[in-house]
């Protein structure tokens, strides 16, 4: 079955530590996205990538970094510069950038130790 | 600023009743999408309605779009306990960037 896999499901970060969230898709989609969701809130866009080896900042990119070396993979690193990283992180993909429906993974919940 | 704003924030109904959620937005759009999110899970796409469409149906779901009022509504008919979830509208911008802007969602509880 095609889909998006996010791992791990739960992640804990120590002070001053960088952590990386994995996102893999086998849908052959060109575009991939990372969102942050805080309790009771909607989704805010962190980074997005419309094609391999290219990505753009979203609305809340500070303290985060991404790479897109392969079509299937779009990992997100939460750096120590992100002072309030506790949130639910969602990865999504779509066929292309032409405003098509997005397919979501089941998220990673990040907490501070 | 939020492009999509849902109303109400929370809704509680009995099984079998209809549920209506509204979404308002600020700028021109190519399309508007509705998504569902079960607690602790990712979002699932429900319906996409284009700016030149006024109404769309999918099973028990009916979506309307009024571009003059910059608003959309999602109607779930004959609701079931399994419809309990949060529902989000998402809008693009006319520039075809692929970026979606999500509202804060409506939390629906359907009581058996």
Q: How far is B30 from chain A (nearest CA, A)?
A: 8
State the pairing for strand pair A19-25/A10-13.
unpaired
Residue of B nearest to A93 (CA): B98
Please give the pLDDT value at position B95.
64
pLDDT in tens, chain A (113 residues): 679 999 999 999 888 899 999 999 999 999 999 999 998 888 999 999 999 999 999 999 999 999 999 999 999 999 988 889 999 999 999 998 776 899 999 999 999 88
Please give the pLDDT value at position B94.
57
Nearest by CB to A45, from B33, B45, B99: name it.
B99
Asked whether residue B1 carries a pLDDT value surpassing 80, the answer given is: no
Nearest by CB to B102, from A42, A101, A105: name it.
A42
Neighbours of A65 (CB within 10 A): 17
Does the distance separating the beta carbons of A31 and B98 come in below 8 Å?
yes
pLDDT tens digit string along B41-91?
999 999 999 999 999 999 999 999 999 999 999 999 999 999 999 999 999
Burial class (CB in 10 A: 0-12, 13-18, 19+), B54: exposed
State the pairing for strand pair A76-78/A64-66.
antiparallel
**CA distances, B103 to each of A69, A75, A79, B34 (Å):** 31, 25, 27, 10
DSSP string covering A52-67: TTEEEE-SS-TTEEE-
Does the distance separating the beta carbons of B97 and A101 come in below 8 Å?
no
Asked whether residue B2 carries a pLDDT value surpassing 50, the answer given is: no
CA distance A54 to A96: 13
**Which residues of B are less than 8 Å from A101 in CB distance?**
33, 45, 48
């Amino acid at each position: 079955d095609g889909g998006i896999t996010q791992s791990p499901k739960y992640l804990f970060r120590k002070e001053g530590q960088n952590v990386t969230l994995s996102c893999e898709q086998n849908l052959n989609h060109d575009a991939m996205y990372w969102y942050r969701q805080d309790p009771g809130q909607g989704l805010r866009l962190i980074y997005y990538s419309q094609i391999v080896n290219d990505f753009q900042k979203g609305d809340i990119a500070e303290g985060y970094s991404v790479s897109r070396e392969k079509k299937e993979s779009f990992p997100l690193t939460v750096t120590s510069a992100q002072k309030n990283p506790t949130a639910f992180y969602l990865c999504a993909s779509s066929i292309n950038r032409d405003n098509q429906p997005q397919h979501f993974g089941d998220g990673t919940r990040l907490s501070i130790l | 600023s939020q492009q999509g704003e849902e109303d109400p924030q929370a809704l509680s109904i009995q099984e079998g009743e209809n549920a209506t959620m509204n979404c308002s937005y600020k700028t021109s759009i190519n399309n508007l999408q509705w998504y569902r999110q079960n607690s602790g899970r990712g979002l699932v796409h429900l319906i996409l309605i284009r700016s030149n469409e006024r109404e769309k149906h999918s099973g028990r779901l009916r979506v309307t779009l009024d571009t003059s009022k910059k608003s959309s509504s999602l109607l779930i008919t004959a609701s079931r306990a399994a419809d309990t979830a949060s529902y989000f509208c998402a809008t693009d911008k006319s520039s075809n960037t692929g970026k979606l802007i999500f509202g804060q969602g409506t939390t629906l509880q359907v009581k058996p």
